[in-house]
């Protein structure tokens, strides 16, 4: 207390010299007292937090600058919107009325969950950020969206984090949001629920800078009573959160690839990687999760079946922890609003040793693919 009084008197003398008002001085002292009384985080709390979060960079202090940057508000909204979309996906499945239609064939399906989830995501983000560009997978008619599909919340934890300096001044109209409302639709209809994700990717200047992945059925194998779902998110330069980063030993080559869109070129490319094991699963988001959780070392898909809404969010999360996603030539994909949607030259993603996998792609495979 004596120390505080001494500090107070010193501040008062300085205030009198600068003709500071008594009211202002008292306000500053009250603010200082409140700050001194704030509890400090314990080591136990920090350890628990780090078990769930993967920063990939040095920890940043919480946001103290007032209103959060546009990109942080957008990510905070996308987090809640993805959670709501995940809830919609679960509800449609539990209803038993999937409303399946074929888009281009039996391996390219759309369900009621796809349609409702996209309506919810696009309408919710547009309401809060009217000047952003949103590109969704499903080609839906323009129509009024029911109010119960609108998500108004934002994830407070994200709003409290400091925005990386290079993104602090971005405007809404500079951002492009790529949406896959239900990645792994075929697997969803077949009951392979751990393959299913909701993807919301955010791009600036053609680069994927932030992403949100919701897994609606995470933990579903635990049976009745299990808490379903989790959400992963990342911002480049800030880190990635919501999972525990794990890596395979450097000498292990486990390749994950498509389970329903394979062909001769895809198989040839996988064999060229000389993998110890091949894991065939659905969903681009699911495959990237295999990489960051140590279940696979490379995602190899030497085909033109993947699109920008499949890769934008997963790429941002992978890059935030030091990984890389490119085409089969090793070239980065661009996410400008006016780019073609197809990833024509395939997808090659790794957590580490990307150059090795690029070097193993056969010339015959590259000749079969068109580089963007």
Closest CA to 228 of 242, 244, 215, 245: 215
How many Å from the N-terminal Cα to the C-terminal Cα in the chain?
68
> Catalytic positions, please?
114, 185
Binding-site residues for Mg(2+)? 137, 180, 182-183, 310
33: Cβ contacts below 8 Å, ≥ 6 apart: 4
- Alpha-carbon distance of 261 to 367, in angstroms, equals 19
Closest CA to 158 of 48, 83, 274, 239: 239
Residue 186 CB coordination number (10 Å): 20
Binding-site residues? 137, 180, 182-183, 310
| Strand pairing category for 207-215 and 197-204 | antiparallel
- Alpha-carbon distance of 229 to 87, in angstroms, equals 9
Distances (CA, A) of 320 to 8, 140, 234, 241, 315: 45, 32, 6, 10, 8
Under the phi-then-psi rule, with left for phi > 0, alpha for psi from -120 to 50, and beta for the rest, what region is 205? left
Residues 185, 173: contact at Cβ < 8 Å?
no
Q: What is the DSSP string of 9-53?
A: HHHHHHHHHTT--HHHHHHHHHHHHHHHTSPPPPHHHHHHHHHHE
């Amino acid at each position: 207390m004596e120390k505080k009084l001494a500090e107070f008197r010193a501040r008062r003398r300085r205030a009198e010299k600068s003709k500071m008002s008594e009211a202002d001085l008292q306000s500053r002292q009250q603010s200082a007292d409140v700050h001194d009384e704030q509890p400090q985080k314990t080591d136990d709390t920090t350890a628990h937090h780090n078990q769930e979060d993967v920063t990939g960079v040095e920890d940043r202090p919480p946001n103290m600058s007032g209103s959060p940057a546009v990109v942080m508000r957008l990510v905070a909204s996308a987090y809640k919107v993805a959670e709501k979309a995940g809830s919609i996906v679960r509800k449609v499945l539990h209803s038993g009325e999937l409303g399946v239609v074929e888009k281009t064939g039996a391996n390219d399906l759309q369900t009621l969950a796809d349609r409702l989830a996209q309506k919810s995501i696009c309408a919710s983000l547009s309401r809060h950020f009217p000047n952003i560009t949103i590109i969704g997978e499903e080609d839906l008619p323009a129509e009024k969206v029911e109010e119960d599909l609108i998500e108004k919340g934002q994830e407070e934890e994200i709003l409290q984090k400091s925005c990386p300096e290079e993104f602090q001044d971005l405007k809404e109209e500079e951002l492009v949001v790529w949406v896959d409302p239900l990645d792994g639709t075929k697997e969803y209809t077949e009951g392979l629920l751990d393959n299913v994700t909701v993807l919301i990717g955010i791009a600036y200047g053609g680069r994927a800078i932030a992403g949100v992945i919701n897994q609606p059925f995470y933990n579903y194998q635990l049976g009745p009573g299990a808490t379903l779902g989790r959400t992963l998110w990342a911002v480049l330069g800030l880190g990635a959160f919501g999972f525990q980063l794990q890596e395979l030993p450097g000498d292990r080559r486990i390749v994950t690839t498509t389970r329903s869109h394979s062909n001769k070129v895809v198989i040839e490319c996988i064999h060229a990687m000389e993998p110890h094991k091949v894991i065939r699963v659905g969903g681009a988001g699911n495959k990237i999760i295999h990489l960051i959780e140590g279940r696979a070392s490379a995602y190899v898909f030497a085909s033109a079946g993947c699109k920008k809404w499949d890769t934008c969010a997963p790429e941002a999360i992978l890059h935030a922890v030091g990984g890389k996603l490119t085409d089969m030539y090793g070239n980065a994909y661009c996410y400008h609003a006016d780019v073609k949607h197809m990833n024509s030259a395939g997808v090659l993603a790794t957590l580490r040793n990307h150059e090795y996998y690029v070097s193993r792609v056969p010339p015959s495979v590259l000749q079969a693919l068109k580089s963007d």
